[in-house]
Amino acid sequence: MAAEFTFSVGSSIAVVISGNSTILSENRTFELGFFTADAGSNWYVGIWYSSIPIRTYIWVANRLNSVKNQKSATISLNEDGRMIITDSNQLIVWTTENAERAAEAKLLDTGNLVLLSQTGAIVWQSFDFPADTWLPGMNITRNNKIVCWRSVSDPSPGNYSLRLRSPGFGEFELVHDEETRYWSTGIWTGSSFSGIPEMSVRYLYTFRFSNPFNPSASFTYETLPEFSNTLTRFSVDSFGLLKQYTWSSQTENWNMFWSRPENVCRVYGLCGNLGFCTGGSLRPCECIAGYVPADEQAWRSGGFNGGCRRDDEKSICQGDGDGFEDVGVVNFDGSVDSVVFTGGRSLCEETCLKNCSCVAMKHNEESGMCNIIFGSILNIQNLTSDSTDEIPLYIRVGRDGFNEENKMNGGWRLKMVLIIIAGCVFMALCFVALALVILRMIRNKEKRKKFEEEMTFPVTNLKVFSHKELTAATSGFTEMLGHGGFGAVFRGTLSDASEVAVKRLEHPTVGRDKEFRAELCTIGNIQHVNLVRLRGFCLEDSHRLLVYDYMENGPLSGYLKRDGEVLSWDVRLRIAIGTARGIAYLHEECRDCIVHCDIKPENILLDNGFNPKVSDFGMAKLIGRDFSRVLTTMRGTWGYLAPEWISGVAITAKADVYSYGMTLLEILGGRRNVETPPSVFTSTRIEGASQEDHWFFPPWAARQIVDDKVSDVLDGRLQGAYNPVEARRLALVAVWCIQDNESCRPTMGMVVRMLEGTLEVTVPSPPQLLQALVSGDSFQGVRVVSGQESSLSSGTCSFESNKDTGVSPS
């Protein structure tokens, strides 16, 4: 069905594309044609990648005027030499505005649709009118901007856009409604933007800013020649996040590894009026009790900007009944008016309730200051703990929204009647229920028998749990131990009194039970003293639960806090070696080599003797090939992930080695590698926008280690109580593990032997990519960005010593 990549004006109107025919770019990278994102209600002309299985639209022509029926709609060049889209009634729904006549249209392999004049000059190009995607080679100037889709199923322009700041022309900003800035890159420093130091690393991209600080400023990026086959893009999603993606042909998926602002709740007005931002990656917004989405349909499809409305909207100000819901110490966007006066709590409440347009109030118990709030309270967010403002916000709610006491105050007589009626109904229902329960017990017994028969496991060490059993074991999933990329983990106690951790997978694996079981089987067979044992699982209806041994001392990450418990040197050494052994086992001794993909302190659990056990192995495979979920649980910063994740080349076990090296640095330093200063939400959030800043420990640490200043890197809280020979060895291994070039990194097996001291460790060179992020020896939390670009050294590396015991790098 796909045609040539050009079409031209014929004698009359040249109809080139209609219905579901498309044209391809020269090398079949991109495809242009009609598409629908909402199952056929609205049709648009767009460009997408033709070479990948996941439909990804990079451009949309008629974003404002969809075509209702694509069958007889067309794209063509008209007599004036303009490109037009006509609907089935031959009405023009979209046209290019080129002044000069085009004789030919061509879809380039860059994704750019160009109109060419008779002489071959470009008279119009789609790159000047981007949709939500910024492709390599596309110039952003003050005349164009990247505007998000309204929702994933609606390509019309949404509220968020990325644009060159004007005036100034020296930085980019994300804005809401063309007006309110909620994130910026920081000022151009000559090689990068001040807020994105990782740009100065010459890896994957080169960036070019022509005429910065000038109205003619134009910014673009290109992929480096060695990555010319990598599909990569930036886009602004409908939640207002600027994201960077690379296509991985290994996982057949887009890997997202960079996203700003890092906290989705920072996106201005994301959850709309009286919407509560929880920060979840799929559904970041909620309505508080007593409120419902203002636009149910939009809310369901991920458009949260409409916010929430009172459930009992009609009864607002219809006499008594309103009360307040304490939403805690929060921050919010939007402009509000407030009236401030001094008075008691009840006067404060009364005053608000008396005025129909009052939506919330704050009352400071200490000073007696009352704040009555009018207007729209947008995108409510939990305030970070270090805020000075400790006064909770009370939102006005209807009868159903607030606590029990208040509810009992009015209309008790009516309630008594209701209670009596309810009582009778209840009795009747009890009889019915009893009958049903008996019936069900009989059926369940049959079902369970059948269910267990289905579970014909070749291994006997995995136990099949019922959902009921696990609900009882975890007391109804109440004690949450943590929340990872795959779901929440709860503490539980089995009937034999053994303690377990129950992981509830939040991933639609329904319908893939067979694969799921096969994977479980693989995981269940893997047993090693440094791997967390999978005891069993529950696979019932839509429930997917995994049951693991419970680890008393929790994840390693809990010990990397400044104010946390300090681990002794011996414990650190044990953790380092044990973790390495666990990973080495996964890589080298299992039947199928398992790449963990997500080695980090959160996934290293400590038992009651502080022995490390690696958890979450096999997960990436278990939940399908969706590595992006793994990636988004990382801190999503360059310099933390192995470079091969970013460039989209195949991921091997060496990616785990990299992450292990990063973790080793954290163990040595007793701190996190990437520390984000506590974000400060203030009412002047524009100033706060550029505060999202990082301090990268690894580049500095690597430099110190290479310069034989290991003691500077070690956790000061150890107060010198460590073995310097072992410390040096661990430190050198860490730097070997984080080499840019994966062939320079040792295998996990070699890491173990190096750590144990049976393989001599030489001094590596500092990793170039990381090193580009800092210059010199400056520390003290001040990040100095080096001016010069650096690139991956392709030089040789030799970590094997000549005193080696005979093993050479693969």
Closest distance between ligand NAG and the C-beta of residue 322, in Å? 14
Indicate the SS3 state at residue 530: coil
683 binds ligand NAG (CB under 6 A): no
Give the 3-state secondary structure of 774-797. CCCCCCCCCCCCCCCCEECCCCCC
Nearer to ligand NAG by Cβ, of 355 and 498: the residue is 355
Q: Among candidates 647, 674, 648, 622, which has minimal Cα distance to 487?
A: 622
**Exposed / middle / buried, residue 556 (Cβ in 10 Å: 0-12, 13-18, 19+):** buried
Q: At CB < 8 A and 24+ separation, what contacts does 779-788 make?
A: 779/700, 781/695, 783/197, 783/693, 783/694, 783/695, 783/696, 785/189, 785/191, 785/192, 785/194, 785/197, 785/200, 786/200, 787/189, 787/190, 787/191, 787/200, 788/191, 788/200
Backbone angles phi, psi at 517, to 5 degrees: -65, -40
461 binds ligand NAG (CB under 6 A): no
For this structure, is 563 an active site residue?
Answer: no
Contact pattern for ligand NAG over residues 255 through 294, marking x by CB under 6 A: ---------------------x-x----------------
Q: Among 72, 214, 281, 357, which residue interacts with ligand NAG (rule: CB under 6 A)?
A: 357
Backbone angles phi, psi at 220, to 5 degrees: -150, 165
129 binds ligand NAG (CB under 6 A): no
End-to-end CA gap in the chain: 47
Residues numbered 89 to 118 that lie near ligand NAG (CB under 6 A) are 109
Residues numbered 213 to 242 that lie near ligand NAG (CB under 6 A) are 218, 220
76 binds ligand NAG (CB under 6 A): no
Nearer to ligand NAG by Cβ, of 139 and 379: the residue is 139
Q: Among 374, 451, 457, 477, which residue interacts with ligand NAG (rule: CB under 6 A)?
A: 374
Torsion (CA) 511, 515, 520, 526 in degrees, nearest 10: -170
Q: Among 117, 137, 250, 765, which residue interacts with ligand NAG (rule: CB under 6 A)?
A: 137
Nearer to ligand NAG by Cβ, of 118 and 355: the residue is 355
Give the distance from CA 637 to its chain's centroid: 11
d(CA 425, CA 243): 55
Closest distance between ligand NAG and the C-beta of residue 382, in Å? 4
Known binding positions: 503
Nearer to ligand NAG by Cβ, of 342 and 798: the residue is 342
478 contacts: CB under 8 Å, gap ≥ 6: 490
143 binds ligand NAG (CB under 6 A): no
Nearer to ligand NAG by Cβ, of 379 and 673: the residue is 379
Closest distance between ligand NAG and the C-beta of residue 15, in Å? 14
Query: Which part of the chain contacts ligand NAG (CB under 6 A), choosing from 19-27, 396-404, 686-694, 697-705?
Result: 19-27
Give the distance from CA 601 to its chain's centroid: 18
> Considering 598, 656, 715, 740, which one is annotated as catalytic?
598
- Amino acid of residue 71: K
Query: Which part of the chain contacts ligand NAG (CB under 6 A), choosing from 20-28, 51-59, 185-193, 465-473?
Result: 20-28
Closest distance between ligand NAG and the C-beta of residue 285, in Å? 10
387 binds ligand NAG (CB under 6 A): no
Known binding positions for ATP: 503
Closest distance between ligand NAG and the C-beta of residue 72, in Å? 12
Q: DSSP string of 38-98?
A: STTSSBEEEEEESSSSS--EEEES-SSS-BS--TT-EEEE-TTS-EEEE-TTS-EEEE---
Number of shown-chain residues binding ligand NAG (CB under 6 A): 19
Nearer to ligand NAG by Cβ, of 111 and 612: the residue is 111
Nearer to ligand NAG by Cβ, of 367 and 385: the residue is 385
Q: Among 15, 20, 317, 418, which residue interacts with ligand NAG (rule: CB under 6 A)?
A: 20
568 binds ligand NAG (CB under 6 A): no
Across 429-533, where does the E strand assignment appear?
463-464, 480-484, 487-493, 499-505
767 contacts: CB under 8 Å, gap ≥ 6: 698, 699, 702, 735, 738, 739, 740
Residues numbered 301 to 330 that lie near ligand NAG (CB under 6 A) are 328
d(CA 486, CA 792): 33
707 binds ligand NAG (CB under 6 A): no
Q: Among candidates 755, 754, 787, 791, which has minimal Cα distance to 770?
A: 791
Closest distance between ligand NAG and the C-beta of residue 359, in Å? 11
Binding site for ligand NAG (CB under 6 A): 1, 20, 26-27, 109, 127, 137, 139, 210, 218, 220, 276, 278, 328, 339, 355, 357, 374, 382
Residues that are catalytic: 598
